[in-house]
Amino acid sequence: MERMEGVDAGYLYMETPTMHMHTLKIAIMEPSDGYTFAGLERQLLARMNDLPPLKQRPLPVPLALNHPMWISDGPIEPGRHIFRHDLPPPGGHTELEALIGQVCSTPLDRSIPLWEVHVCEGMAGGLVAVIGKLHHALADGGAANALIANIADSGDGATTADTGSDPPADWHFDAVPAKGTQIKLALRDATMQIGTLHTLLGRTTSGAVAAIRRRREHDVSVPRPILDAPRTSFNGALTPRRNFATCTLDMAHVKQVRKANGVTINDVVLAVVGGALRTWFDSHDEHPATALLAGVPVSTEEAGSSPRLSGNRVSNLFTTLATDVDDPIERLHTISKITSASKDLQRTLGPSMLADWVQFTPPAPFSAVLRWYSHARMAARHAPPFNVIVSNVKGPPDEIRIAGSRLHDLYSVGPIIEGIGLNITAWSYAGRLNIAALSCPDLLPDLPSLVAALEPALEQLRSP
């Protein structure tokens, strides 16, 4: 049992009836001989020791005196976590994406460990889709990568799971502490945390002064959240509904553009998204007043650190999508220059600064304000802090097998938040860049047409 870090707990506090803070991992599997849903369920339960965050649920502190605890106080109940679906004919990506939108439209149950697995059978070609629905409080993209690696079969093709349906014999269950004990622990941890406030204030002040100085030295202007983000049709108040769409880009083509232009893979991803959004806006006769602003999650993990199976080590930087630039190559270089300057400012300020301050988030007031904000649909009444979330995660470079089944493809996407109704996540896998987009159909009803513009946007960068 351990105290939840502030950045992880923040994802719980942000959740409202219209803002669901789970992530999705979609694995398209080529099942091994003898596959059955019951067998897959047994394999998953047998591997719980390799997936430690999936055994823990949040334990709120009485009176919300501190962040919740993570506790493993009982066995997994399969019927509350693992579900089977039959895709309607013809069982293609269109049918799967519609189901994923439905799965994503409901929040996770806080009274049990914060995950679900939805097994989708009836796919064309005998494939099986496994939708992992995981609360962001449990893991970010880096931790999710490590979890996948933890349950992948070894290189010689051997599997690591047994075939029993019971929890592993060495599964330790925590005793739920009495409320008085919970309060004492919460106050003790809060007192220790307050002792770090003086140092944090000093680091923040010096970092802010240095960042202002560095900003003046740059020859490009780094966009500012709220002040520089235009209004668009998909920046507004959310409803609970979600829609989902995917496409796949050839990673070799992405690397070709990167090498030819001396930029990063992330720059290319941002330029592809910017190009697709320009096409989409033109087709809808929508003309934002200025270039769109992207929020880009970036890892704060220290180089060379050991694989991490849970928690979040991410911050956000803000950059332009240069949607006001006509030429695709010029757009790419504009994005690259501004993103580089934004990274420099973040390094100067300190990549963990936001996470350090979030540690002091007061649980009850923060949650109450966000519930009111969401209920009052306040996001529709002002300009967004930024326009779109764009993530790029490096996944497994080679194809892997899990429980003997070949992992044919892998997609991932994070949540959308009030005011920012579009999340586009690129996840590389085995020479492909799989892109997943999540939105709210009440803000962006024709998400597939936007996603369909991503590949042509890449081709524009390859053939200027």
- For residue 267, give the H/E element and its range: helix 265-283
Catalytic residue among 20, 135, 136, 408: 136
- Is 136 a catalytic site residue? yes
Token pair recorded at residue 152: 């992948």
Taking the C-alpha atoms of residue 215 and residue 219, their distance in angstroms, rounded to an integer, is 9
Taking the C-alpha atoms of residue 438 and residue 104, their distance in angstroms, rounded to an integer, is 9
Taking the C-alpha atoms of residue 398 and residue 395, their distance in angstroms, rounded to an integer, is 9
Which residues have a Cβ under 8 Å from the Cβ of 352 and sit 6 or more positions away? 300, 315
- Extract the runs of DSSP E, i.e. beta strands, from 359-421: 388-393, 401-402, 405-413
Burial 200-237 (b: 16+ CB within 10 A, else e): beeeeeebeeebeebbeeeeeebbeeeebbbebebbbb
Cross-strand pairs, 133: 24, 116
CB 356 within 8 A of CB 331: no
Which one-letter DSSP state was computed for residue 37? H
Taking the C-alpha atoms of residue 5 and residue 385, their distance in angstroms, rounded to an integer, is 25
Q: SS3 for 58? A: strand
Amino acid residing at 115: W
Q: Which residues are catalytic?
A: 136
